[in-house]
Every structure is written in C-alpha cells, then in structure tokens.
Amino acid sequence: MAKKIAKQQMTGAEIVVRALLDQGVDTIFGYPGGAVLPIYDALFQQNELQHILARHEQGATHSAEGYARSTGKVGVVLVTSGPGATNAVTGMVDALMDSIPLVVITGQVPTHLIGTDAFQECDTVGITRAATKHNYLVKDVNDLARILHEAFYVARSGRPGPVLVDIPKDLQFAAGLYTGPENVSHPTYQPRVKGDEDRIRAAVELMASARKPVFYTGGGIINSGPEASEALRELVHATGFPITSTLMGLGAFPASDKQWLGMLGMHGTYEANHTMHDCDVMICLGARFDDRVTGRVDAFSPGSKKIHVDIDPSSINKIIKVDIPIIGDVGNVIKEMLRLWKDEKKKADKDALKDWWKQIGRWRSRKSLNYTGSKNIIKPQYAVERLYEATKGRETYVTTEVGQHQMWAAQYYHFEQPNRWMTSGGLGTMGYGLPAAIGAQVAHPDALVCCIAGEASVLMNMQEMSTATQFRLPIKVFILNNEYMGMVRQWQQLLHGARYSQSYSEALPDFVKLAEAYGGKGIRCEDPAELDQKIQEMLDYDGPVLFDCRVEKVENCFPMIPSGKAHNDMILGDAAAAEDIGSVISEEGKVLV
C-alpha cells in the first residue's frame, strides 16, 4: 500500500488522490469545474475513491457534513474555483458553527493568474478565512501532501471544524514529491486533550456535595466519539443525577432512560429548563451556553455552581461565568470523573436527590409536550410521533431542515444512540437536511435515513434529489407541509401583530409530481387515519421518497422560552392559547433573534 512508497514523484492531482486514500477517505462529495479538472482526471483513473456528484456545491458540503456526523469521520468536499468555492461557503460556516470536521479542496486559477481577476477567480482563502477553522493556499507542489495531511489533522483534532485547501491549477499538473501521513502534526496547533487533574477532582467533590444537580450535555460528547457517550451513561447512572442535552447533543444519552429530562432551551421541556434554573450544581459537558439554551443570561441558573468541560478554551466564560472550568476532551474528562467517583466511593446525597427528583416529577407532570390532537387534520407533532413509532426499531438516521419541524423532530423523535441525529444547530441553515440525508445514506447504505423537513426549507436544496436518484440512495424526505415558513410565521404572530410578511409558501410545487420528475416516489397524506399506512408505504419503497404530509397550517411550536426571558418563564401550549403571547415578550426581547 501507500506506506511502502512514502516518498514518490507524482503530479499534484495524483498527490491529492493519494493523500485522501492515505487518510482513509473512501467517499468525497463534489462538483467539477475548470480549475479542478486535473484532479477529476486523476479520480477518473482510479477505483478506490467514490465521488458523489452533488447538484450544487452547497449540497456537496452539507452531504459531507451528514457523512461526517453519521460516521465520526472527516467529510471531504471537492469543488472548483470562484463560484464553486463561494457556493460552498454556507456549508463551511455551518460546519464551523456545529464543529463538524470537513476538508474542502477548492481549485484555484493558475498561480500566474492569481490577482488578475481571471475567469472564475475569487480570493478563496480571503473569503473563507472566517468560514473555516483554518485554510491554506498551496504555493509549491512539494508542500501539497504535507498541507493536505495537516488539513485532516486540524479538521479532526481539538474542536473539529472545516479546513479548506486551495490548489492553483498549475500545481495540479506540476510534478512534486509525495509524503505520507506518518507523524503529521502541527508545530503550534496542539489542542489539549487531558483535563487538569486537580480541577477534575474539585469537580467530583462538588458533584458529591450537590443537593440539586443536573448534567447539561452537548454536541461535544458526540464529537468526542462513541466512547464518550458510553462513559457519560455510566457516570449519569453512577451518580443518579438528572440529565438534559442541547439540540446538538441528542442521542449521547438514551431518551428512553428514566434520568433523561428531554432537550433544554428555547423549545426544550418544562422539566429540563426548570431543573437548570433551580439546580445547585450544573455539570456542563461539551456544550457552550448558546443563547438558544440560556435564555436571559443574567437570570440563567442563578443559584448554581457550574462545572464546564470543553476542549475549546474560548468557550469557557464566554457567555456564562463558571466556577470550575476544565479544558480537555470531554470523553477523556468524563472517564476521569467516573474513575474518581468510583475509586473514592463518592455517593450522592440520597435524601436530597430524592427530594430533587420529586420536584422534577412535579415539573414533568405539567406534560409540556402535550398538544391538542385532531381527527380531521394531521398535527405536525403527531406526524413526527407516528414516524418515530414506525421507525424506532430500525437502524435509523434522522436529519432535519431548519424551523418548526426541526424543533418538533427534536421533541417527538427520540434518540438512543449518538451519531443518529443531524441538524443544523448553530447556523440554522435551511436546505441542510436533504443533502445531509444523502451523506448519511452514502455512509450507511443499508440503514433507514429520514429527513424531517419543512416545505419551505426543503426547496432550498431540492435539486439534490437528482443525486439521490443517481446513486440509488433511498432517503425518505418527510415534509411537514403547512404552506408557511412556520417559524417565521410563528414569530410574526407572536411579535409582529400577526402581519405575515412574505412567510406564506405561495405557488408551491406538487411534491408528488416533483418526486416523480426526479425519478423518485411521491406520497401525499392529508388524513390522520391514513398516516400510518402511508408512512409504511414510504418505508417499504426502495428508493428516494418525497412524503408530502399536509399538516395543520398555524400550529405553533411550544413549549417556548420567549426571547429575553429566563428558563422559569416558559410558556406552555395551553397557556399560550389562553393569552396574547405577544404581550409576554418585552421590548428588549423583541430585539433579540
């Protein structure tokens, strides 16, 4: 294999292919163009790397994200210069915000034309400087292999993220020396993996003294790998503490477990948010106190001591001041916490914990996810519940678009394992779900991959249906069609006097015919009584499906922490119906997003 021929002359294009193979890459997502033709030629002449042709470069990046998130591997994208690179920017920022490892290779105009406003030239490294974790413009073909290996190292280590390598076309033709990936590191970039021992010890002491503790976990656990999820389960069970998670962290802890409180935050459960607000010790593991989680910052969990474990030092004390910061890989630190907890025979305060669980039981009994059912109209929550019931026994990967349906998916679809849930959390990118489903399906050809979508979001990258058809990817796109940009409509109702400015999905396509036009299957369902049978029809079909699920048009997403409010100021669905919610939100809250 490659290792025997560690140093060898080859063209830049061949170096790219070899470096990818040596990095263990089996699949890349891309779109050809003038400035990457030599690399596409090198791809043509080999059979080890599979290339998935997207229909738009944004689709390629989201597919690579779906691939990365469902496998824990680095996603790889290959696009051309100029518009190829700029179209990929949204996907890179999405990956940056959600800490998803990507390597994006862009072609560039030949070195001697850089700076001349050549055809399809843009300042790719300049444009993507703030869109990537790091980026490179290759200037010497002999640096190319090292830079590519370094790019993989930077993308996957520390807090993962997208790394871009811009390769001028002349270097793709030029002959250079290939060096293998052995011992690749970076002289300065050496993220800290092991947490400070004294601080971990202090954290465990604090946990043992807690009377009202809570684990608050995030996407960092998923990024740390399946072992981190395993260790988390052990720690949570050993302590007996309640646990909640961010949108990004769903699946790290099983939703069926007794200690699970559901998701927290703006559309989190009543019990999760109240537990956060009233706790005395908060153990934040791999989450970053995002504004969707904290609500009003000065009223955030006012009485608690806070432990924060994060691999990124800049996440510490960024939004919320914490008492015990621990910088390190969260999986590593959890294992260390678990070891100390067991070795030193720590015990939680049983009586206090019992009272705490009693209190949590009272919050749970508010049943914040209840909604008013209907015999005539499909409620969107009901649709997600039925989809969950029909698919829960199988190996299922779920992606979403962005909006109300995304929150309903997070609330009513339940995850038992990590890497099964892919959603655009930080950037909130409409158009993410369908291409991400393609990436997940490519990685898991025999699994069931569902994209829970909204009719507006899914149209943003609908062209990727062609990719699904071409590569026989049987993704199931489950569209909760309410003919509105639902979350925009909800905010307009709550904050802007129900003036629905531009949020009605006018002139929608016929999704059934659209599916057929793309070579897939279309299913429409308007009757709750037929829903189960039609979901089954979707699951039974061996090919891509667009499921046009016509749901209640003006359903709102509850429970909800209104902007500018604290965790214990949640409004529930039934209360919301009774009063004017617009009046609940203060003038300061209206300015927030």
Residues 138-177 as x/- pattern, contact with other proteins by CB under 8 A: -x--------------x-----------------------
Peptide bond into 38 cis (omega under 30): no
- Can you say whether the dihedral through the CA atoms of 143, 148, 149, 154 is positive or negative? positive
> Quick one: which of 5, 46, 48, 129 contacts other proteins (CB under 8 A)?
129
Query: Site for other proteins (CB under 8 A): how many residues?
Result: 25
CB of 319 to other proteins, least distance (A): 6
Which of these ranges, 181-189, 220-228, 414-422, 434-442, lies near other proteins under the rule CB under 8 A? 181-189
CB of 76 to other proteins, least distance (A): 19
- Can you say whether the dihedral through the CA atoms of 430, 377, 475, 406 is positive or negative? positive
Written as six digits, the tokens of 495 are 């904050």
CB of 147 to other proteins, least distance (A): 11
> Which string of DSSP letters, residue by residue, matches 137-202?
E---HHHHHHHHHHHHHHHHSSS--EEEEEEEHHHHHSEEEE--STT---SS-----SPPHHHHHH
Q: Is 74 in the site for other proteins (CB under 8 A)?
A: no
Which of these ranges, 87-95, 129-137, 370-378, 476-484, lies near other proteins under the rule CB under 8 A? 129-137
CB of 238 to other proteins, least distance (A): 32
| Tokens 């390769």 -> residue | 167
Q: Is 316 in the site for other proteins (CB under 8 A)?
A: yes
> Quick one: which of 318, 339, 367, 590 contacts other proteins (CB under 8 A)?
318
- Beta strand 8-11 pairing with 175-178: antiparallel
| Tokens 């559901």 -> residue | 262
User: Residue 435: which residues within 8 A CB-CB, separation 6 or more?
Assistant: 54, 58, 59, 60, 61, 62, 63, 66, 461, 464, 467
Written as six digits, the tokens of 85 are 């690179």
> Quick one: which of 170, 196, 234, 312 contacts other proteins (CB under 8 A)?
312
Written as six digits, the tokens of 471 are 């590569």
Q: Is 112 in the site for other proteins (CB under 8 A)?
A: no
CB of 315 to other proteins, least distance (A): 8
In the residue annotation, 282 being an active-site residue is answered as: no
Q: Is 185 in the site for other proteins (CB under 8 A)?
A: no
In the residue annotation, 487 being an active-site residue is answered as: yes
Written as six digits, the tokens of 279 are 């706790």
Q: Is 320 in the site for other proteins (CB under 8 A)?
A: yes
Q: Is 133 in the site for other proteins (CB under 8 A)?
A: yes
Residues 475-514 as x/- pattern, contact with other proteins by CB under 8 A: ----------------------------------------
Backbone angles phi, psi at 281, to 5 degrees: -135, 125
- Rounded to whole angstroms, the Cα distance separating 52 from 417 reads 27
Which of these ranges, 54-62, 238-246, 314-322, 441-449, lies near other proteins under the rule CB under 8 A? 314-322
CB of 154 to other proteins, least distance (A): 6
Element (H, E) at 217: strand 213-217
In the residue annotation, 10 being an active-site residue is answered as: no
- Compare residues 217 and 294 and give the one whose CB is closer to other proteins: 294
Burial call 319-333: b when 16+ CB within 10 Å, e when fewer: ebebebbbbbbbbbb
Instruction: Tell me if 227 sits within 8 A of 521, measured CB to CB.
Output: no
Written as six digits, the tokens of 229 are 């999820």
Q: Is 297 in the site for other proteins (CB under 8 A)?
A: yes
- Rounded to whole angstroms, the Cα distance separating 176 from 584 reads 65
Q: Is 319 in the site for other proteins (CB under 8 A)?
A: yes
- Beta strand 421-422 pairing with 448-454: unpaired
Catalytic residue among 169, 305, 306, 521: 169
Instruction: Tell me if 546 sits within 8 A of 569, measured CB to CB.
Output: no
Which of these ranges, 37-45, 57-65, 125-133, 274-282, lies near other proteins under the rule CB under 8 A? 125-133
CB of 188 to other proteins, least distance (A): 5
Q: Is 127 in the site for other proteins (CB under 8 A)?
A: no
CB of 5 to other proteins, least distance (A): 29
Instruction: Tell me if 399 sits within 8 A of 29, measured CB to CB.
Output: no
Written as six digits, the tokens of 29 are 């997502």
CB of 255 to other proteins, least distance (A): 32
- Compare residues 187 and 497 and give the one whose CB is closer to other proteins: 187
Residues 186-205 that bind other proteins (CB under 8 A): 186-189
- Can you say whether the dihedral through the CA atoms of 387, 423, 226, 63 is positive or negative? positive
Instruction: Tell me if 139 sits within 8 A of 96, measured CB to CB.
Output: no
Catalytic residue among 14, 57, 271, 464: 57
In the residue annotation, 57 being an active-site residue is answered as: yes
- Compare residues 42 and 284 and give the one whose CB is closer to other proteins: 284
Instruction: Tell me if 430 sits within 8 A of 406, measured CB to CB.
Output: no
Instruction: Tell me if 483 sits within 8 A of 505, measured CB to CB.
Output: yes
> Quick one: which of 317, 365, 533, 536 contacts other proteins (CB under 8 A)?
317
Which of these ranges, 134-142, 224-232, 373-381, 488-496, lies near other proteins under the rule CB under 8 A? 134-142
Give the catalytic positions in this structure.
57, 119-120, 169, 487
Residues that bind other proteins (CB under 8 A): 125-126, 129-130, 133-135, 137, 139, 154, 186-189, 297-298, 312-314, 316-321
